[in-house]
Amino acid sequence: MVYLNDDTLNLAVYLIYGTSFIIMFLAMTFWKNRVSHIELMNDFKFLAIFALLHGLTEYFDILRILEWQPAWFFDLMKLLLATASFAALLAFGVNVISAGIEEYRWLRGMPFGAIWMYTWMLIFIGLDFSNSNSGINYRVADLAQRYTLGLLGALISSYAFLDLSSKIKAIAGGKARRRFIYAGLAFALYAVFGGIITWDVFGVPIIVYRTISGVLITLTVIRILQLFNIRHRESAEPA
C-alpha cells in the first residue's frame, strides 16, 4: 500500500475511495426492486456485493493510517475483504457474459477456482502476519491479488458492460447504450490502475488514480440505474 505524505490528505483520499463504493452499494440496493424484473440485470447483485466489500476494504486502510493496533489484524482483514470483493466482481463479469450461452456456463466456476489458487499461493509464500517482517509478505500477497483476481475481475466486468451495451440498445435506445459503454470504460480504467499499475504515476500516488476510477465507476453505475428509475415512474403513471 502507498500512502501520501500528509495524514489528513491520506484520510480524505481513502475516505472518498471507500465511500464511493459504499454509495454505489446503497444505490444498487435502493434500485434492486425496480430492476429485478429485467433479466440482464439479475447478476448485478454480485456487483453490489463487490461495492460493499471493496468500500469496507478501503476503510480498513483508514484504520491503518490512524495506527490502530494490532496492525497485522487490519492487514489480514483488508486482504480477506479485498479477495472476496474481487471474487464478487469476477462473478459479476463471468455471469453476465455467460448468461444464456450454455457452452460458456463453465466460466461461472472461475471465481471459486481463482480464490482456491490464490489461497494456496498464500500458503506457499508462507504469509505470516504475526512477526515483524509480515509487511513484506503482505505486500507480496496484495500485489499478487491485484495482478490476478483484481485485474481479471475488472477486465471481464469491463467487457461485460460493453457486451450489455449492445443488448440494452434494443430495449432502451442509444442513450442507455452509451451509459453502459461509459461503465465499461470506467472498469477498464480501474483494471489499469487497480490491477496493472501499482506505482506512482507522474509523481501522484496510485491511490489517487484508483479513487478517481472508483468514483467514475459509482457515477456510471448510478446513471445506469437511473434509466430504470425513469421507466419505473412512467409505468406508474395512470393511463
Q: Identify the pLDDT of residue 236.
A: 46
Residue 1 lies in a domain: no
Q: What is the mean pLDDT of the chain?
A: 80
Does 132 have pLDDT greater than 70?
Answer: no
**Sequence-separated (6 or more) residues with CB below 8 Å from residue 52:** 21, 22, 25, 85
Q: Is the peptide bond before 205 cis (omega within 30 degrees of 0)?
A: no
- As given in the structure block, the three cell numbers for residue 136 are 513484506
Does 216 have pLDDT greater than 90?
Answer: yes
Residue 185 lies in a domain: yes
In this prediction, residue 23 has a pLDDT band, given cuts at 50, 70 and 90, of very high
Q: What is the pLDDT of residues 87-130, one digit of tens each?
A: 999 999 988 887 766 566 666 667 676 777 777 666 666 555 55
Highest mean pLDDT among 3-17, 43-57, 71-85: 43-57
Q: Identify the pLDDT of residue 50.
A: 96
| DSSP-assigned beta bridge partners for residue 201 | 204
Integer Cα distance of 37 and 41 in angstroms: 8
Integer Cα distance of 88 and 45 in angstroms: 9
- Please provide residue 203's backbone torsions phi and psi, each rounded to the nearest 5 degrees: 80, 0
Q: What is the pLDDT of residues 184-212, one digit of tens each?
A: 999 999 999 988 888 888 888 899 999 99
Residue 238 lies in a domain: no
Residue 2 lies in a domain: no
Integer Cα distance of 137 and 125 in angstroms: 8
Closest of 126, 119, 52 to residue 89, by C-alpha: 52
Q: Identify the pLDDT of residue 35.
A: 64
**Residue with the three cell numbers 507480496:** 140
Q: Identify the pLDDT of residue 168.
A: 79
User: What's 90's domain CATH number?
Assistant: 1.20.1070
Number of domains in the chain: 1
Does 233 have pLDDT greater than 80?
Answer: no
Residue 237 lies in a domain: no
Residue 208 lies in a domain: yes
Residue 58 lies in a domain: yes
Does 45 have pLDDT greater than 50?
Answer: yes
Which of 19-23, 165-169, 201-205, 227-231 has the weakest average pLDDT? 227-231
Q: What is the CA radius of gyration of the chain?
A: 19
The average pLDDT across 5-17 equals 81
Higher pLDDT, 107 or 227: 227
Range of the domain at 13: 7-232
Cβ density class 14-32: b for 16+ within 10 Å, e for less: bbebbbbbbbbbebbeebe
- Helical packing angle, 151-172 and 174-195, nearest 10°: 180
Residue 57 lies in a domain: yes
In this prediction, residue 167 has a pLDDT band, given cuts at 50, 70 and 90, of confident
